[in-house]
Structure 1
Amino acid sequence: MTVVMREPAAGGRFGEFGGRYVPESLVPACLALEQAFRDAWADPAFRQELDGHRRTYAGRPTALTAARNLSAELGITLLLKREDLAHTGSHKINNVLGQALLARRMGKTRLIAETGAGQHGVATATAAALFGLRATVYMGARDIERQALNVFRMNLLGAEVIPVTSGSRTLKDATNEAMRAWVSAVEDTHFCLGSVAGPHPYPWMVREFQRVIGDEARGQVAAELSTGVPDVVVACVGGGSNAAGTFAGFADTGARLIGVEAAGGAAVSAGEPGVLHGSRSLVLQDRHGQVAEAHSIAAGLDYPGVGPEHAQLSGLGRARYVTVTDDEVLAAVRRLAEREGIICALESAHAVAWVLRAAGTAELPAGSTVLLTLSGRGDKDMSQLMEGLR
């Protein structure tokens, strides 16, 4: 079946998922944000300014690279959408530029954000510096340890990084603290959420800001393939913003959509319906219905939930969600580096790992054409890679 990823239903619903489950004190802020986004997205001047920053600052359009060596080895045609080449090193800048412009339009003077791998925090700090805003980033203490380089980058850009020591000390807990901070500072502060999660309008708004990935790739692939669209479109999924942006460009085609989760953070593959961070989606839970801890070698995928639109796409059968292990991810980083000269982020390597495993099987037969979104570069992961690939 094909699907058009449009505006959600009333109240931000993607079928049974989505919605706005927040404290009463945050409802006015969410409503004001929704109206501000609607107004801005319908304003040609806002869209033109955003496109200008994407082009001259973020470096869009990003390249489409034919992975010729891996393609020859695997018996497929593998095309890489190079979000690792965007300014700050990942797709995160697409969303943050949009939200920072929106915050300025709303009269806000400060951004707060959550981050796991640090790339969203870096992008937030970058946009704050560009537009003269203050930035505060909440980051789990465990992630601060494994992403020290990105912590330094955020500080260098002028942002305050606040360690979160509660819970698992990872992305889930950083998001909790950022949302709590937003409650007490809504008058002058915008919560710059980094994924297609959270209360309405965030899942829709972030997807629209990330749609540029899929829209660009759709045109680039059409020029590269005689069929016009690939057989398979694949991207890694934590909260799921790079995948949502990519899928939005191909959901109305015959391409198969594959989201690749971490085996220890597989909210779609192993979760149950529940509420997390302001929306109803699929969530990892224990037998008592409490949110379970997730695990991934990639800090950006170390999250027990997923964006509600991904839950809907899975339920409709429009997208399929699979898992790979940490060992497969490490092997994928090495193989892509050795064959194509590209060192990708651990998050992105989940998508690469699935392609390596599936190629030549019924899942990905010989001759298949594949578009893979390489969501980020691996600079931030060097210390983990040095340890894991010894």
Structure 2
Amino acid sequence: MTFEVTEKGFYGTFGGSYVPETLISNIEELQKNYLKIIDSASFKKEFFWLLKHYTGRPTPLYYAQRLSEIYETKILLKREDLCHTGSHKINNTIGQALLAKTLGKKHIIAETGAGSHGVATATVCALLGISCSVFMGEKDIERQQPNVKRMQMLGATVIPARSGSKTLKDATNEALRYWINNPEDVYYLIGSVFGPHPYPAMVTKFQSVISSEILNQLYQVAGKTIPDYVIACVGGGSNAAGSFYHFLDLPEVKLIGAEAAGHGVESGMSAATTYLGKPGVIHGCKTLFIQSDDGQIAEAHSISAGLDYPGIGPLHSRLHEIKRAEYIPVTDDEAMKAGVLLASKEGIIPALESAHALAILDKKKFERDEVIVICLSGRGDKDLSTYENYN
């Protein structure tokens, strides 16, 4: 079975491109040119040079000995938190910003929840000399102040989204609205594996460097050529798509996505999309998302701003549909407990997003000789006040 996107942008029945007429030419321009550009020798040379010398790749595959002793298995952490800017997001923003520059775009916009993608976008725009605006929910601006200040210092304009739940969904709405009104010179740098084709496939391709490195590093660290499990958190799903990508055609590697259950899947304050979502069109693609009774986008909740989104990318919807990957809900409390445990046992403070992936260790029973790779997608500096207030 192939897990590559079709020419029309579909993974099975999920994906596609559903955009207003104003944006059709922009999307067609991307669809026509993105592969030709990013597969060119000159693009690859600059992209991988920046990943190595600017981002700090390859990131370590770290054997968490004390955590492994607690859970009586072999736990390896893919340290995306050690990337420049503190998360995996920089892999994608470098790729898309180089693409935007090649296409001659003058201004880049982005949406952000936890602020990690916003910081990564602002960073690369500063590096390449491109102006930048980041849309961020007003609620997220309040709870992610360190990242807001970083974006502003990097020269980006942070624009609050004051509608709806004032979180990631609403920031995405505002970014799309701005793009619709300014289609010619603006490039929308989407941060996850959602949106109209070719964004899900393109972001997956840029983030697939994660699973490529895991394959190259695993034998030296664990004495095996492939892991038994790969685990990653899933909001829109970019770090998970990147972590899963090179293992999709290897059924012996079990894939687990940790979704944000918030206060509980049935609480009405959750973002567990595979459990609560139904197929529909959201933000330019057909995928699973949490809906109201009349088919409108419902409000989601997570203590983690980066997972506070009512949908998942179409690739994940397809992997869930065919049971290639298992998606497990993790509550706010479970994620907080897992984050505190990692800090106390390994001296690593994870982002709240990554803490959801770590919480899977309490939800599955692993064998002693199994190798479990967990994508530590980001560092927890931005979440210190949330950790501090947790009781």
TM-score range, shorter chain: over 0.9
Distance 1:208 1:4 in 2: 15
Q: Choose which of 137, 141, 145 in structure 1 pairs with 2:142.
A: 145
Query: TM-score scaled by structure 1?
Result: 0.96
Q: Choose which of 35, 38, 46 in structure 1 pairs with 2:35.
A: 38
Q: Choose which of 69, 82, 85 in structure 2 pairs with 1:85.
A: 82
Distance 1:127 1:375 in 2: 18
Given that 1:199 and 1:279 are in contact with CA atoms closer than 8 Å, whether structure 2 keeps it comes out as yes
The Cα shift of 1:48 comes to 0.9
Do structure 1's residue 184 and structure 2's residue 181 form an aligned pair? yes
Given that 1:332 and 1:353 are in contact with CA atoms closer than 8 Å, whether structure 2 keeps it comes out as yes
Distance 1:250 1:297 in 2: 30
Residue in structure 1 matched with residue 267 of structure 2 by the alignment: none
Do structure 1's residue 193 and structure 2's residue 193 form an aligned pair? no
Q: How does 1:355-366 map to 2 (within 5 A)?
A: 355-358=361-364, 361=365, 364-366=366-368
**Per-residue displacement from partner, 1:79-114 (whole Å, max 9, x unpaired)?**
000000000000000000000000000001111000
Residue in structure 2 matched with residue 322 of structure 1 by the alignment: 328
Do structure 1's residue 382 and structure 2's residue 389 form an aligned pair? no
Q: Choose which of 243, 258, 280 in structure 1 pairs with 2:256.
A: 258
Distance 2:328 2:309 in 1: 16
Cα 1:205–1:42 change in 2 (3 A) is same
Distance 1:62 1:249 in 2: 17
Distance 1:371 1:226 in 2: 13
Residue in structure 2 matched with residue 346 of structure 1 by the alignment: 352
Q: Choose which of 296, 301, 312 in structure 1 pairs with 2:307.
A: 301
Instruction: Give the alignment's Cα RMSD to 1 decimal.
Output: 1.0
Distance 2:377 2:260 in 1: 15
**Per-residue displacement from partner, 1:162-184 (whole Å, max 9, x unpaired)?**
01100000000000000111112
Residue in structure 2 matched with residue 312 of structure 1 by the alignment: 318
**Per-residue displacement from partner, 1:126-166 (whole Å, max 9, x unpaired)?**
00000000000000000000001100000000000001100
Given that 2:52 and 2:58 are in contact with CA atoms closer than 8 Å, whether structure 1 keeps it comes out as yes
Given that 1:4 and 1:248 are in contact with CA atoms closer than 8 Å, whether structure 2 keeps it comes out as no
**Per-residue displacement from partner, 1:301-328 (whole Å, max 9, x unpaired)?**
0000000000001111111100111001
Q: Choose which of 258, 276, 281 in structure 2 pairs with 1:275.
A: 281
Q: Which runs of 5+ in 2 are unaligned?
A: 262-269
Report the residue type matching 2:82 in the other structure: L
Distance 1:270 1:368 in 2: 31
Q: Which runs of 5+ in 1 are unaligned?
A: none
Distance 2:55 2:84 in 1: 5
Distance 1:256 1:248 in 2: 12
Given that 2:234 and 2:240 are in contact with CA atoms closer than 8 Å, whether structure 1 keeps it comes out as yes
Q: Choose which of 362, 375, 382 in structure 2 pairs with 1:373.
A: 375
The Cα shift of 1:4 comes to 4.7
Do structure 1's residue 231 and structure 2's residue 228 form an aligned pair? yes
The Cα shift of 1:42 comes to 2.3
Q: How does 1:1-12 map to 2 (within 5 A)?
A: 4-6=2-4, 8-12=5-9
Moved over 6 A (4+): none
Distance 1:60 1:367 in 2: 28
**How many aligned positions are there?**
382
Report the residue type matching 1:36 in the other structure: N
Given that 1:116 and 1:171 are in contact with CA atoms closer than 8 Å, whether structure 2 keeps it comes out as yes
Given that 2:63 and 2:221 are in contact with CA atoms closer than 8 Å, whether structure 1 keeps it comes out as no
SS of equivalent to 1:186 = coil
Do structure 1's residue 27 and structure 2's residue 19 form an aligned pair? no
Distance 1:385 1:135 in 2: 30
Q: Percent identity?
A: 52
